[in-house]
Amino acid sequence: MPLVSIIMPSWNVERFIEETIHSVQAQTFDDWELLIADDCSTDRTPPIIAEIGERDPRVKLIRLPKNGGPALARQAAIDQAKGRYLAFLDSDDLWLPAKLERQIAFARERRAALSYTAFRRIDEANTMSGRLIAVPAQLSYDQLLKNTSIATLTALVDREIAGPVAMTNEGYDDFCLWLSILRRGHIAHGLNEDLARYRVRGSSVSSRPMRSAKWVWNVYRNVEQLPLLKSAWCFGHWSARAWLKRRQF
């Protein structure tokens, strides 16, 4: 069985998916499977994935019966994952070659249920924009409620330590997952190394600040069921950090 299962949702990303897969294939750590759950793409995304999978059996296409959004796509991939570790990568983002090797060694050293790394932004033409997005060394549940530091493409979950992993079908399903792990008493550990590239596209589901803010508020009130005062306190901190993070770009 592979040590790492890479969880990837895809939908109409024929322009980027091949490069994203190649960034996984270029990893210096090669004991992985890549599970790509395609959410009923209407372009050439599925055949591109299938063609690569024919050459590299570690790349596996999962076809969803109907379009349900990234949370359900990620869950479909998680349901078939065989690895101890779950790594998350969206279908237009990229990893640098040492990402898995460095992060797995880091997670093992700290016995981290959840770890994350620094990254940089790129545009649709692969041009880097802004400074390195550095990360804090640790995050508890209460700290993460007020923070934006765990980018999906940098997250690694050790299922033997974290326990059950399940997506919540909400906006910011990834944020919900990190919180569900840390709510059990775990601490997330940050590796402050530049190991990933987050692609900024106008069509990205998290590219609109107002919608992101609404999603975060919903997580506080309806998913985590925080009291109103604590929700407002956390939201103020989250908003300030999100604003500062955008200014880095």
For the beta carbon of residue 105, count every other beta carbon within 10 angstroms: 13
Q: Is the dihedral of CA 23, 29, 30, 36 positive or negative?
A: negative
pLDDT band for 173, please (50, 70, 90 cuts): very high
Triad 213, 217, 219: Cα angle to 5°: 115
Please give the Cα distance from 29 to 25 (Å, whole number).
Answer: 9
104-159 pLDDT, tens digit each: 999 999 999 999 999 999 999 999 888 899 999 999 999 999 998 999 999 999 99
User: Helix, strand or coil for residue 66?
Assistant: coil
pLDDT band for 206, please (50, 70, 90 cuts): very low
What is the number of helices (H) and of strands (E) in the chain? Answer: 9, 10
What confidence score (pLDDT) does residue 241 get? 82
What confidence score (pLDDT) does residue 201 get? 81
Using CA atoms, how far residue 113 sits from 84, 89, 145, 191, 242, in Å, is 11, 18, 17, 13, 25
Please give the Cα distance from 210 to 124 (Å, whole number).
Answer: 22
Please give the Cα distance from 175 to 238 (Å, whole number).
Answer: 12
Average pLDDT, whole number, for the chain? 94
Q: Under 8 Å CB-to-CB from 91, ≥6 apart: which residues?
A: 8, 9, 10, 11, 13, 16, 17, 20, 36, 45
Q: Under 8 Å CB-to-CB from 230, ≥6 apart: which residues?
A: 220
* 227 pLDDT above the threshold of 80: yes
The domain segmentation of the chain, as residue ranges, is 4-247
Least confident of 52-61, 113-122, 180-189, 236-245: 236-245
Please give the Cα distance from 177 to 61 (Å, whole number).
Answer: 23
What confidence score (pLDDT) does residue 148 get? 84
Q: What is the mean pLDDT of residues 90-115?
A: 98
pLDDT band for 182, please (50, 70, 90 cuts): very high
Instruction: Provide the whole-model pTM.
Output: 0.94
* 197 pLDDT above the threshold of 90: yes
What confidence score (pLDDT) does residue 245 get? 66
Q: Which fold has domain 4-247?
A: Spore Coat Polysaccharide Biosynthesis Protein SpsA; Chain A (3.90.550)
What confidence score (pLDDT) does residue 143 get? 97
Burial 221-242 (b: 16+ CB within 10 A, else e): eebbebeeeebeebbeebbeeb
Give percent of the chain with pLDDT exceeding 70.
95
What confidence score (pLDDT) does residue 247 get? 60
* 96 pLDDT above the threshold of 70: yes
For the beta carbon of residue 53, count every other beta carbon within 10 angstroms: 16
